[in-house]
Amino acid sequence: MPLRPTSTLPTWLPEIECLFPGRCGTSASLREHHANSLTLLAAQPPDAVVFPETTAEVQELVRLAARHRLPLIAFGSGTSLEGHVNAPRGGIAVDFSRMNRVLAVRAQDLDCTVEPGVTLKQLAAELKPTGLFFPVDPGAEHATLGGMAATRASGTTTVRYGSMRDNVVSVTAVMASGDVVTTARRARKSAAGYDLTRLLVGSEGTLGLITALTLKLYGVPESASAAVAAFGTVGAACETATLAIQMGLGVARLELLDAEQIRCVNGQSGLQLAELPTLFVEFHGTFASCAADLTAFGEVAAATGGIDIKTAADEDGRRQIWRARHDAFWAVRTAWPGCQFVVTDVAVPLSALAAVVTETEADIQEFGLTAPIVGHVGDGNFHCIVAIDPADATARARIDTFLERLVQRALDNDGTATGEHGIGQGKARFLAAEHGCGVEVMRAVKTALDPLGILNPGKIFA
Ligand X SMILES: Cc1cc2nc3c(=O)[nH]c(=O)nc-3n(C[C@H](O)[C@H](O)[C@H](O)COP(=O)(O)OP(=O)(O)OC[C@H]3O[C@@H](n4cnc5c(N)ncnc54)[C@H](O)[C@@H]3O)c2cc1C
**Binding of residue 57 to ligand X (CB under 6 A):** no
- Smallest CA-to-CA distance from 452 within 181, 209, 207 is with 207
The distance of closest approach from Cβ of residue 134 to ligand X in the complex, given in angstroms and rounded to an integer, is 13
d(CA 200, CA 430): 21
**Buried b or exposed e, range 154-180, using 16+ CB within 10 angstroms:** bbbbbbbbebbbebbbbbbbbbbbeeb
- Stretch of residues binding ligand X (CB under 6 A), selected from 48-56, 136-144, 291-299, 360-368: 136-144
The distance of closest approach from Cβ of residue 120 to ligand X in the complex, given in angstroms and rounded to an integer, is 9
**x/- binding map, residues 312-351, to ligand X, per CB under 6 A?**
-----------------x----------------------
Strand partners, 132: 219
**Buried b or exposed e, range 62-84, using 16+ CB within 10 angstroms:** bebbbebbbbbbbbbbbbbbbbb
Residue 452 in contact with residue 69, Cβ under 8 Å? yes
Among 39, 55, 59, 79, binds ligand X (CB under 6 A): 79
Among 144, 172, 261, 360, binds ligand X (CB under 6 A): 144
d(CA 283, CA 249): 8
**Binding of residue 403 to ligand X (CB under 6 A):** no
- Smallest CA-to-CA distance from 62 within 33, 19, 28, 32 is with 19
**Binding of residue 90 to ligand X (CB under 6 A):** no
- Stretch of residues binding ligand X (CB under 6 A), selected from 68-76, 237-245, 361-369, 430-438: 68-76
d(CA 207, CA 31): 23
Among 96, 231, 280, 283, binds ligand X (CB under 6 A): 96
**Binding of residue 116 to ligand X (CB under 6 A):** yes
**Binding of residue 202 to ligand X (CB under 6 A):** no
Nearer to ligand X, 38 or 312 (CB): 38
Residue 95 in contact with residue 102, Cβ under 8 Å? no
The distance of closest approach from Cβ of residue 375 to ligand X in the complex, given in angstroms and rounded to an integer, is 9
**Binding of residue 33 to ligand X (CB under 6 A):** no
The distance of closest approach from Cβ of residue 458 to ligand X in the complex, given in angstroms and rounded to an integer, is 11
- Which residues here bind ligand X, judged by CB under 6 A? 38, 73-81, 84-85, 96, 116, 138-140, 143-144, 146-148, 150-151, 153-155, 204-205, 209-210, 329, 420-421, 456
